[in-house]
Chain A
Amino acid sequence: MSPTGIAVAVLQVVLSIASAPFLVGMMRLIRARLEGRVGAPIRQPWRDLRKLFRKERMVSTNTSIVFSLAPLVLLASAALVAGIVPFLSTTSALDQVGDLFAVVYLLLLGTVFLSLAGLDAGTAFGGMGSSREMTIAAIAEPTLLVAIFALSVSTGSSNLGAIVADTLAHPSRAASPASMLAFSALAVVTIAETGRIPVDNPSTHLELTMIHEAMILEYSGPDLALVELAAHLRLVVFLGLLANLFFPWGIATTAQPLHLVAAAGAVAVKLIVLAAVIAVIEVFIAKVRLFRVPELLAASFVLAFLAVTVSFFLV
């Protein structure tokens, strides 16, 4: 575990956290402009977080330690993944543990804790949100796993850094059928896991339709800020995974500062493009009926499964 590796990991976490609210702000702004609204400035999510962090912490007396712990676990797990996933360089200090299983289950850990927190306060909405979240997670997480697994088959390693490095070495693999199928599956999972339309509506205020928002209804002040920040960070992590697993070009293979700066620029461009695409698509689609969500996710699981199958036959 080299000092430069540690520096890269820390840099990834810091940059991800710092940029995540801006990315969300940008998506909201794009949506607003396309809908003909002026929209809030890009820094609005940061302002909201700052406001929430300054507020008093209020916790229901009916809750247990899980409720207080969940925002921290959620943010910590997302931050850890942000350090593991090869965003800037394939030589992150955490790369040795940068296993796809570790990443998927760290993300799932946050999901599970948030669902438990939704149940903890004992309100009907929290339970409803948790139940819906679990329905989605139960199909989304295996899809995520299988989709990345399809990529690891050709590399022969489940290490994310190795997968990325391998794709860099063999650019044609990015266009292989397995890769295409896995990308489609991962894109659907990204949308489901980050609570975007058509699965969930991040801007809704209707208690009965919410998924993510329903689970966090009982949170306020600094706790809510942590949950929101973690949600923003998860968006960056998912988009970053999507970007660098399939379009790794620009990523540094060393830890030289100049390369890292170039890599940061490259990943920023990729994230902005992906986020903009999602925001634009969101304008033109509506939220599907809740019971159609499992159908959508099941289809993405089939894609991921096909990706694995294909990767064995067509490499």
Chain B
Amino acid sequence: MTSPAVPDRADSVIDADVADLGVNFTYLSSAGYRLALVAAHHDLADDKQPATIRVVYVMVAGPPDTRVEIHVRLPIDAPDLPSLADVSFTAGRFEREMQDLFGIHLTGHHQPARLVLHQHWPDGWYPMRHDAGPPPSFDNETESYPFLTVEGPGVYEIPVGPVHAGIIEPGHFRFSVVGETILNVKARLWFVHKGIERLFEGRRPQGGVELAERISGDSAVGHNLTYCLAVENAAACTPPHEAQVIRAILLEFERIYNHVTDLGAMGNDVGFGIAHAHTMRIREQLLRLNARITGHRLLRGGVVPGGALVDWLPDATTLHEIRADVHQVVDIMLANATVVDRFTGTAVLVKDDATQIGTLGYVARASGLDIDARRDHPFADLYEHLSVPILTDGDVMSRFKIRVAEIDCSIELIVELLQRVLPGDYRSAFDPLDGPRHGVGLVEGWRGTIAHRIELDTHGNLSRVKIVDPSFFNWPALPVALAGDTIVPDFPLANKSFNLSYAGNDL
């Protein structure tokens, strides 16, 4: 066993022996690194080496922005991976994902149940392997999901979804309840797993934009920017400074319209319809601004590999008016005693749990975690004046107020950035034609830190894109926040306060 390698610069790669994985991982974790992404790769045999499954762990820390990759190689015929689930909850979930998609065999995992592929998928078919072939026919066994059964007098189960009464994405929730109090919730996701990572493969990097913008519809800028940063990182391309400014502006516009929507939706979930009606009005104003900025209401088309382009940018006055409008709605909501009562102390996620689970974004910041990729992993020198709001209560009210604070921060940031750029088309030449190369992108999307890791083959085409939406990290926090003293009728409110993406999680 070798001693752990000490990273001395950004983007270092540790080629570790499988046996040393745990040592390296633990060392980096204790040095303040966070696991941002785990990606498996099916490397075909060539003249230098036999076919392997290569697993890449991307560990990040900041500020200053530091990224370290641990690479381990597993033989294709015996891909045994020692599990890190005992030291990292998140690693355990990435491992289960790889187990389902790449056929990696986990050793020492305490809960090696399937994650991505539901139980009716037959064993032995691993869709992300190059030789997977077409999907096989399903087994009829569909009810064997290992839900934890809570037993005791008066305990009953409520199954909800995956088809819901409202227009929301599909997810199945199994509540174990006594009276109205939730004892345990299990969320079963991946109903909309569409194989989007695989769809990237073989495309030119420029051709991945249209996919990246559709990973999670409300995070078009977040995911696309992350993707573009990753391919630029791989191709060693530096976009013009103006393009970076525009990217930062677009990212904040996306944050504002989503946060505003959530504020009203949380009001709607406590029957306070007037807040919802007015935030929907403000959202519509923002979407119309978006349509003028990039030509698309959800801000698609603004970010491209090597640059960014906008038709128009609003002035500071418009933004200040929107801020005043938002604050008026927020003041009305928080002046209502019933709304405050419903929000306060509901679905508390304590800091300890938030840390252990590895939560990101406003969920983490509402529970006292000081984490924001704009400050920790800036993609340009634009965030010197950024203040990251932190709240500590971890309840619905904190997640409400943190959104209000972030809207303010975003508007201030946009107003400042507007002075540095004029609308236009700013691009550097971008056309990688050689490889293999790899790159990582980290962006603070509105939900939290989005991470992509891409690989280019010898012709500069995409050979692997690994996408991690913050929802993947945050989903396990929802049941933790609910269990114990939250009542069933508060679930929709708690769920909305987390507002996690199904599409971004299921991929």
Contact = CB atoms under 8 A, between A and B. Distances in A.
B346 to A, nearest CB: 8
Most central of A34, A127, A283, A289 by chain B CB within 10 Å? A289
Given A124-B156, A128-B158, A205-B165, A286 B489 contact: no
B164 interface: yes
A200 to B, nearest CB: 9
Contacts of A125: 158
A285 B338 contact: yes
Contact of B271 (A34, A37, A198, A208): A198
Interface of A: 31, 34-37, 124-125, 127-128, 132, 197-198, 201, 203-209, 283-292
Given A201-B271, A206-B165, A207-B164, A286 B487 contact: no
A37 B165 CA distance: 22
Contact of A289 (B157, B277, B341, B492): B341
Nearest to B161: A207
B277 A207 contact: no
Contacts of A37: 277
Contacts of B160: 207-208
Contacts of A289: 341-342, 487, 489-490
Interface in B9-44: none
22 contacts: A35-B276, A35-B277, A36-B278, A36-B281, A125-B158, A203-B273, A205-B166, A208-B158, A208-B160, A208-B488, A209-B269, A209-B492, A285-B336, A285-B338, A286-B271, A286-B272, A287-B270, A287-B272, A288-B338, A288-B342, A289-B490, A290-B489
A292 to B, nearest CB: 8
B121 interface: no
B339 interface: yes
B159 A124 contact: yes
A14 to B, nearest CB: 33
Contacts of B273: 31, 35, 203, 283
B159 to A, nearest CB: 6
Contact of B274 (A34, A205, A209): A34
Interface string B148-174: 000000001111100011100000000
A206 B491 CA distance: 9
B267 interface: yes
Nearest to A202: B271
B353 interface: no
Given A36-B281, A286-B267, A207 B489 contact: no
Given A203-B273, A208-B489, A286 B336 contact: yes
B485 to A, nearest CB: 11
* 10 A-B pairs with the lowest CB-CB distances in the bound complex, closest first: A287-B271, A35-B277, A286-B272, A286-B338, A124-B158, A206-B492, A201-B271, A205-B166, A209-B489, A286-B270
B341 A284 contact: no
Contacts of B271: 197-198, 201, 204, 285-287
A207 B164 CA distance: 8
Interface residues of B, number: 31
B68 to A, nearest CB: 43
Contact of B157 (A36, A124, A132): A124
A128 B159 CA distance: 12
A209 B157 CA distance: 16
Given A286-B272, A290-B180, A208 B267 contact: no
Given A209-B269, A285-B272, A286-B272, 14 more contacts: A37-B277, A124-B157, A124-B159, A198-B271, A201-B271, A203-B273, A284-B336, A285-B271, A286-B271, A286-B336, A288-B338, A289-B341, A289-B487, A289-B489
Interface of B: 156-160, 164-166, 180, 267, 269-274, 276-278, 281, 336, 338-339, 341-342, 487-492
Nearest to A290: B489
A125 B173 CA distance: 13
B158 A286 contact: no
Nearest to B339: A286
Contacts of B156: 124, 127
A125 B180 CA distance: 12
Contact of A290 (B157, B269, B277, B487): B487
Contact of A198 (B158, B164, B281, B338): B338
Nearest to B277: A35
Nearest to B159: A124
Contacts of B489: 208-209, 289-290
Contacts of A208: 158, 160, 488-489, 491-492
B165 A207 contact: yes
Nearest to B278: A36
Tell me which of A201, A207, A291 has the highest count of chain B C-beta atoms within 10 A of its own C-beta. Answer: A207
Nearest to A203: B273
A128 B488 contact: yes
A53 B110 CA distance: 55
Contacts of B164: 207
Contacts of A36: 274, 277-278, 281
Contacts of B487: 289-291
Nearest to B267: A286
Contacts of A291: 180, 487
A315 B275 CA distance: 46
Contacts of B339: 286
